[in-house]
Amino acid sequence: MFRDVPMLAAILLLSLGTGPYARRPEVGTAGHGFTIASLACGAVTVKLGNTELVRIGLGTNRLGDTPEHVAFVRETVPAGINFVDTAHLYVGGESERVIGEALHPVPEGCVVATKGGYHSGEGRPDVLRGQIEESLRRLRTDTIALYYLHRVDPQTPLEQSLEVIASYRERGVIRHVGISEVDVDQIERARQVVPIAAVQNRYNLADREHDDVIDVCEREGIAFVPFFPLRGNGDTATKLKWLLQRSPVVLPIPGTLSIEHVRENLAAL
């Protein structure tokens, strides 16, 4: 998507001087549903299908099934969150259940992303199918906007796991596909099976092991969702701003149970 250098340079020049919070022209899509809304890292949104995702999401791996946590999740949407990250694994399914209770039906313009196949053996087609069905029930939905293979299963070729997810995508039950904790070769293999809209890897100011993956994501127009975005020393805002500046495809998902922290994190945009 970055091959037309003169056109892109012109767009970049047009983008400059419009202020960091201005919406910028879209620069294209790679056909898998994810679109970089701007070449400039100051853009506040990226597009997944028709949905503009705010570039700070919500991580939910500590959500427990309590009325307080249901109320917290509901509060995050008017606060500005429209990208919620969960997984079949989190808190024994409580995270998905809380999100299902808080956000069903998922508000217009919001994306709930989930994942399956974390443990060894769980990438097997029958196991993964069972997890997808369970996530749909817990989230109280017929469709999952973004579904990641949580880990490449050492017992199952990644192609076999992704074929299961691809079959749900073909039926429209899963709209976009992601993979998590992968290297560049695995991304290339995955893309042979199904269009990949997002990669979720461990990445933060103190841990930049996946720099090459971000570069590939930027080149191919794939969202890069860093987990553990706040690990390492330093203040939260600096760490989030650094991630947002790293590449326009980066969309951090800081985990929090505090609405004040949600507001602070969104203020990094």
| Rounded Cα–Cα distance for residues 6 and 39 (Å) | 13
- In the complex with ligand NAP, the residue whose CB is nearer, 11 or 181, is 181
- In the complex with ligand NAP, the residue whose CB is nearer, 59 or 100, is 59
| Rounded Cα–Cα distance for residues 169 and 32 (Å) | 11
What Å distances lie between residue 154 and 118, 144, 157, CA to CA? 11, 25, 7
Q: Binding residues for ligand NAP, per CB under 6 A? A: 59-61, 85, 150, 180-181, 200, 227-231, 236, 253-258, 261, 264-265
| Rounded Cα–Cα distance for residues 24 and 215 (Å) | 21
Alpha helices in 80-142 (DSSP H): 94-103, 125-138
The least distance separating ligand NAP from the CB of residue 236, rounded to whole angstroms, comes to: 4
Q: What is the DSSP letter of 255?
A: B
The least distance separating ligand NAP from the CB of residue 95, rounded to whole angstroms, comes to: 8
Alpha helices in 204-253 (DSSP H): 211-220, 236-246
φ, ψ of residue 34 to 5 degrees: the values are: -100, 130
C-alpha closest to that of 204 among 247, 239, 251, 249? 239
Q: What is the DSSP letter of 202?
A: E
In 3-state terms, what secondary structure has residue 90? Answer: helix
Contact by Cβ (8 Å): 84, 110: yes
Structure tokens at 101: 């209770």
Q: How many CB atoms lie within 10 A of CB 169?
A: 19
- In the complex with ligand NAP, the residue whose CB is nearer, 228 or 242, is 228
The least distance separating ligand NAP from the CB of residue 132, rounded to whole angstroms, comes to: 16
Active site residue 90: yes
- In the complex with ligand NAP, the residue whose CB is nearer, 181 or 220, is 181
The least distance separating ligand NAP from the CB of residue 267, rounded to whole angstroms, comes to: 9
- In the complex with ligand NAP, the residue whose CB is nearer, 93 or 229, is 229
Which of these is catalytic: 90, 118, 147, 203? 90
The least distance separating ligand NAP from the CB of residue 257, rounded to whole angstroms, comes to: 4
Residues classed as catalytic = 90
